[in-house]
Amino acid sequence: MKTRVVVTGMGVVSPIGNGLEAFEKSLREGHSGIRFQPELEKLQFGCQVAGVSELSEETINSYFSEEQQIGMNSHILFACIAAMDAWKDAGLEILPENSEKVHWDCGAIVGTGVGGIDTIGERLVPMTNEGRVRRLGSTIIERVMVSGASAKVGGLLGLGGQVSSNSCACSTGTEAIAEAAWRIEQGLCNRMLAGGSEGVSLYTWAGFDAMRVLNRNHNQSPEKASRPMSASAAGFVPGSGAGVLMIESLESAQARGARIYAELIGKAVNCGGQRMGGSMTAPNPTGVQRCIQEALTNANIQGSQVDAINGHLTATFADPYEIQNWQQGLQVTPETFPRINATKSLIGHALGAAGGLESVACVLQIYKKFIHGSLNCSDLHEKIKDYQHSVIQETQDFPDLRVLAKASFGFGDVNSCLIFKAWESK
Amino acid sequence: MTRDDVFKKAVEMLVKYKKAKLTADQITEQTTLLKDLEMNSARLVDMILDFEDEFNVRIEDAEADAVRTVGDCVELIMRKVS
């Protein structure tokens, strides 16, 4: 009998609030976390707005000792806070670092898109080129290695399962959750922290700006800049933060009386091969549809049973194609298309963290039975007008929300899809 | 700078690397860095860089490798600044 997998804890650091309460409030009330960034204007970026997850020194010091903060840059800091919050939210105690206890039954897959690029750009490269290698100190490696975030999480919490950082661009956070669930299903562990983290660095955003895929049209009106599904969408807005779920076997969750937010009933990960219309930067539609269908098969449900979709929806040219892919993948009609929203309209595109942050949003919505409004799409794209009734622009209660599909699509033509279901204890 | 000045400054700088529950006023010149303060051995490098910056000295690798206690740090710095 297949092991069932549930969500028992969550943690979030985001441009619209840190912690579940603040995050949920902003989702419900439609607060944009996009702000003008003066440094981007100074450096002549085209897009000068971004979603920055802010943490006060006071907050950071409340989580970590000075020693624990050594070797942290922004993406590691965000991941650790989100992971520790998810751990505590799951009802588990954080033991002191000098405790000898290792949680052999728990691991972490916390991925990232570009990881410690801030450390690379601000310290490693300039100091090395100046011949000042000796002055780099001991913490460069742990800050720039791709597994930096998961490694720090593993040490803070004493994890003894697989501790790893996956990386598949914008699909990272969502894929992490799928990978964690598979590990639990195989009986290799009881629980896993899973999600993604992305730091605040103009070196991350520069490459996207150079590709002209960021919105340059709303530097004076940042809260209107992230416009998934709109006719005036002109590229995505970069974001940052971390979203981490505690994924657990149902047996383990019930044995310890854990609160269950939702069940993860299906998942799929694939690639479109950069063929059949796909490329490094654009999805193969057949690949996307197959991913959605495989997730449905894994969940043992029909597409018509999906009540809501939290889309990838970045506000690039790909949005209308994504809607069509969902329609084909779920095998529904425009008339029967489920409700759909885009969390990126509030938080921007947090890249490797997007799937983690947005999955937290999904689980909150399914647990609390609401669907948050998508900002900035009152001028719906021409090709999405047939789905107008499904596009949720104002937050609404949704008492019948039982099944929610989440997908992410990344550079490399990589796809991941999760199917969450409301927890119904029998 | 007196030896006591250097000791006080060194302790002030070392505390951020300690994992042990020892407070600053419990630290003596006999306190060992790795065992008593439970410092991560990798951070010894950073501690030495901090001393170089604070006291405007250069500490060679062989000299750094010989440091075991807070007293060794003080001795090394005193030798360098005099």
Reply yes or no on whether A75 is catalytic. no
CB contact under 8 A, A67 and B16: yes
With contacts defined as CB-CB under 8 Å, which chain A residues touch B17?
A: 67, 70
User: What string of DSSP letters covers B40-82?
Assistant: -GGGHHHHHHHHHHHHT----HHHHHT--BHHHHHHHHHHHH-
Q: How far is CA A249 from CA A115, A187, B40, in A?
A: 29, 9, 35
Closest residue in chain B to residue A66, using alpha carbons only: B16
Chain A closest CA to B4's CA: distance in Å? Answer: 25
- Beta carbons of A224 and A376 less than 8 angstroms apart: yes
CB contact under 8 A, A66 and B46: no
Tell me, what's the pLDDT at A426? 59
Tell me, what's the pLDDT at A247? 98
Q: Give residue limits of the domains in chain B.
A: 3-81
Across B14-24, average pLDDT: 91
Q: How far is CA B74 from CA A140, A169, A403, B29, B58, in A?
A: 27, 49, 65, 8, 14
- Beta carbons of A271 and A171 less than 8 angstroms apart: no
* A46/B1: higher pLDDT: A46
Q: Is the dihedral of CA A361, A367, A368, A371 positive or negative?
A: positive
pLDDT in tens, A127-166: 999 999 999 999 999 999 999 999 999 999 999 999 999 9
A266-422 under CATH 3.40.190.10, yes or no? no
CB contact under 8 A, A138 and B46: yes
What are the start and end residues of each CATH 3.40.47.10 domain in chain A?
5-255, 266-422
CB contact under 8 A, A138 and B42: yes
B3-81 under CATH 3.30.2270.10, yes or no? no
Hey, what CATH topology would domain A5-255 get?
Answer: Peroxisomal Thiolase; Chain A, domain 1 (3.40.47)
Closest residue in chain A to residue B42, using alpha carbons only: A138
- Beta carbons of A198 and A348 less than 8 angstroms apart: no
Chain B closest CA to A81's CA: distance in Å? Answer: 19
Given the structure tokens 């500490």, which residue do they identify?
Answer: B59
CA nearest neighbour of A365 among A406, A337, A415, A324: A406
Query: How far is Cα A351 from Cα A363, in angstroms, rounded to an integer?
Result: 19
Tell me, what's the pLDDT at A20? 98
- Taking the whole predicted model, whether its pTM rises above 0.95 is answered as yes
> Would you call B65 an interface residue with chain A, using a CB distance cutoff of 8 Å?
no
